[in-house]
A and B are shown apart, each in its own frame.
Chain A
């Protein structure tokens, strides 16, 4: 158990809908990262937050957004969902200034 929690574990929704994925980092970790894992794309970095502020952006679609709250938990919002958004979404956290990232168990999103 990495100490990173994600909810929900599974999510099934229809095209065009909007969903919110939640992540709680390990105690003391200030950075949160979101990754998308699909069969054909592997693990793709989406976005990083550090202590409430956006730090880095990867291949995140404009339909997706994220935020980190004062209690350091983070939410990833996915809107206007398409079939191709079906994937595993992982959150990871790290202590500021170190390299190690610890991953949560993921949220499996299925768009029908």
Chain B
């Protein structure tokens, strides 16, 4: 069972446009929600992360919006650039009271930014 559902599977955006990737979860014990960026042949790299006590976090052109009541969070990439073309994964982690520190990953979104 997929604990974190991610959509869309692929996304094509024009340069300068806004890329939006959505994720949803069910487990209310999740309390940490990172986004990872992965380029071909590389490992996932931490991009930005949010805790559920805030509704939005912004770092440069990347923003996470978090809706605790709806159990959804999304990544917005403003002014998308060709260099942003990569696969993006959302993830969620239960609170530290849980055994371990494992992440549950979404299935990934392949983003292509057209020049």
| Residue ranges of A at the interface with B (Cβ–Cβ < 8 Å) | 2, 4, 31, 33, 35, 42-45, 48, 55-56, 58, 90, 92, 94, 97, 99-106
Asked whether, in the complex, the Cβ of B43 is within 8 Å of the Cβ of A4, the reply is yes
Q: Which of A4, A42, A48 has the most CB of B within 10 A?
A: A42
CA distance A45 to B94 in the complex (A): 14
- A56/B34 contact (C-beta < 8 A), A2-B45, A4-B43, A101-B46 known: no
Does the CB pair A103–B43 fall under 8 Å?
A: yes
Selected contact of B105 from candidates A43, A94, A102, CB within 8 Å: A43
User: Is A48 in contact with B101, judged by CB distance below 8 angstroms?
Assistant: yes
Listed in ascending order, the chain B residues whose CB lies under 8 Å from chain A are 32, 34, 36, 41-46, 49, 89, 91, 93, 96, 99-108
A35 vs B43: C-alpha distance when bound (angstroms):
11
What DSSP secondary structure best describes chain A's contact surface?
strand
Max chain B CB contacts within 10 Å: which of A43, A105, A106? Answer: A43
Other 16 A-B pairs with CB < 8 A, given A2-B43, A42-B106, A43-B103: A33-B101, A33-B102, A33-B103, A35-B105, A42-B89, A42-B105, A42-B108, A45-B104, A48-B101, A92-B43, A97-B96, A100-B46, A101-B103, A103-B43, A103-B44, A106-B43
